[in-house]
Structure 1
Amino acid sequence: MKELSLDEIKTIALNITETIHNFCIEKGVIYSVAYGTMLGAIRHKGYIPWDDDIDLVMPRRDYDIFIRTFNEYNTRYKVLSFEEDKKYPYVFAKVIDTETLLEEDVQDCYTLGVFVDIFPLDKYPNKAHRIWFQSLILLQRVISGKVAKFTPTKQSFLRNLIHLGVKTIPVKRIVLQNLFIKLIKRFNKREELPYRDLSQPRFKCVYPKDSFNNVELVPFENFHFLILSNSDEILTKIYGDYNKLPPKEKRISHHSFRAYSRT
């Protein structure tokens, strides 16, 4: 197999996203570019130069439709989700290119290809339910610990001990993931509540309830993808002065993987 360059990985991710976009337009599924991809679209009209992935978000209702039906739309790109495959180790979806293979440093329990991440947005009751939210954080950390490779040489003794303890907790990851997803859906009938990406509780951005009423096309490299019309508000919440570039020492990719072409 041929190892793929960073530029080749970026091109594949763009092609995946174009297919996702076309599917969503055809089926009436709402999505938006998110996080570093949203920032890249506004500040760079494409990828952040030192970034190498694409993130999308969908309201839970649209996310559920997407993960159930996207694989009927094409053969090359495949959506992976815990809801459709209990062996899948994450609580958010990935759309992969099945003609590629990914080797990750962080996990080796599930075979992936070059991917685009899709995060579901659920209803969030702000600070009124602290115990519920702290339970989410704890569960997410335990699930991540069970998925992640155990690499003792790269961590402190205490972190090694905690990670090993999480690995040996006598509860299957599937049970924890089922509980986690049940918890994050708890408030989804409350239409008056805002949205939040609860699949990753560390992402602190809260989206106003009507955020997905207005989306628009935004240039991204040689394509156009959908973005929330209130992207300035969202980016300011996440990054502050988002037009200001970070120091040079922080302009690095945080992903550690190698990708290969299967063909």
Structure 2
Amino acid sequence: MDAENIIKNALIETMDEFHRVCEENDLKYYLIGGSLIGAIRHKGCIPWDDDIDVIMPQKDFEKLLLLRPHFAEPFELQHRSFTDSLMLPIARVENKAVIIDEGYYSGMHTGVFIDVFCFNDTFSSKLLQRMHFKIAAGARLLLRFKDRTYSKGKYSTYYLKLFELVSRIFLLFPRALLNLLVNKAEKLGQFGGRKKYLANLHGVWKTKEIAPKSLFHKRKLYEFEGRQYWSIEDADAWLRPIYGDYMQLPPEEDRVPKHIEKIISINGVKVDS
């Protein structure tokens, strides 16, 4: 089996486990991003994609973090609040049967993963929304420097040396302090009365990933690689403002994996590079 299929199979196994835990504990989640596009356009993974993205309401996300022991081996729930091995602003469910290198400067190896984002309340004002995202991005950057999770192939040698210097400074900052700063940044939107909008503060599309809470009142199951996973019933209302015509395939040169540099091992057996 080639690397592409190994990763795809590991992703589906991981998503199956995440779906099981959510169903058994009455937690809501939604496929988003390329994973939702894949469900609609391909009835499964986008052929060249190498991750799965989901998002949860904040109360469900917080309940999920309490359910770490409910995940069966080789799956592990990871979050910065209870592990030193992952200082990202989101949670992940990792499949430890397939260990990969994401190409980070830190050389961090993880299991094939699905990313679990959290919806946070945000403001109705466009100006305050932008400020909320900028504050969250600043807090997120602190985590990135702490664990040196920036791509080796994305930056010049000059910038990598500069980042390394900054990262050494952030080694002095306690993880608990950085966690607190990120948590406070995420929850800024709770101030000032009842909120009508939800935001994916750590999404790559920034303020485009804001929508009325009413959009997420109705879910439906989408076919996905012979399974069924949950997402927004009116998926077009979420996807079109972000991607435009998401049914159109991207240029061929953009149809490449973007998250995994190489496979390190499979079931404990090292893979030759």
- Scaled by the length of structure 1, the TM-score of the pair is 0.87
How many residues align? The count is 261
In 2, the alpha carbon distance for the partners of 1:251 and 1:58 equals: 27
Is the CA contact (8 Å cut-off) linking 1:146 and 1:173 kept in structure 2? no
Q: Does 1:127 align with 2:126?
A: yes
Instruction: Specify the SS of the correspondent of 2:80.
Output: coil
Aligned: 1:241 with 2:245: yes
User: Quick check: 146-155 or 116-125, which moved more?
Assistant: 146-155
Q: Which residue of 2 aligns with 1:193?
A: 196
Determine whether 1:220 maps to 2:218.
no
Distance 1:246 1:152, change over 3 A: closer
Q: In the TM superposition, what is the alpha-carbon distance from 1:119 to its structure 2 partner?
A: 0.7
| 8 A contact 2:30–2:230 mirrored in 1 | yes
Moved more, 39-48 or 179-188: 179-188
Q: Partner letter of residue 47 of structure 2?
A: P
Higher RCO (CA < 8 A, seq sep 6+)? 1
C-alpha change, 1:162 and 1:133, in structure 2 (3 Å) is farther
Structure 2 Cα separation of the partners of residues 172 and 79 of structure 1: 25
> How far apart, CA to CA, are the structure 1 residues paired with 2:244 and 2:32?
15
- Seq. identity, %: 25
Name the counterpart of 1:261.
266
| Cα distance, 1:151 vs structure 2 | 7.6
Deviations 1:167-200 (A, max 9, x none): 1334526222320122102224754331111134
Please list every run of at least 4 consecutive aligned residues from structure 1 whose deviation after the TM superposition is greater than 6 angstroms: 150-154
| 1:66-215 alignment runs, 5 A limit | 66-108=64-106, 110-125=108-123, 126-129=125-128, 130-148=130-148, 155-156=155-156, 159-160=159-160, 162-170=162-170, 171-172=172-173, 174=175, 175-188=177-190, 191-200=194-203, 202-203=205-206, 204-215=208-219
- TM-score, normalised via structure 2 length: 0.84
Shift of 1:52: 1.5
Equivalent position SS for 1:48: coil
Moved more, 53-62 or 174-183: 174-183
- The 8 Å contact of residues 88 and 110 in structure 1, kept in 2 or not, is answered as no
Change (3 A) 1:167 1:246: same
Q: Read off the aligned partner of 2:266 and give its amino acid letter.
A: S
8 A contact 2:102–2:109 mirrored in 1? no
- The structure 1 residue matched to 2:56, chosen from 55, 58, 64, is 58
RMSD (Å), alpha carbons: 2.6
- Which moved further from structure 2: 130-139 or 28-37? 130-139
The one-letter code sitting in structure 1 at the alignment partner of 2:167 is K
Deviates more, 1:199-208 or 1:218-227: 199-208
Note the residue ranges of structure 2 that are not aligned, 5 or more in a row.
269-273
Is there any run of 5+ residues in structure 1 with no aligned partner, and where?
Answer: none
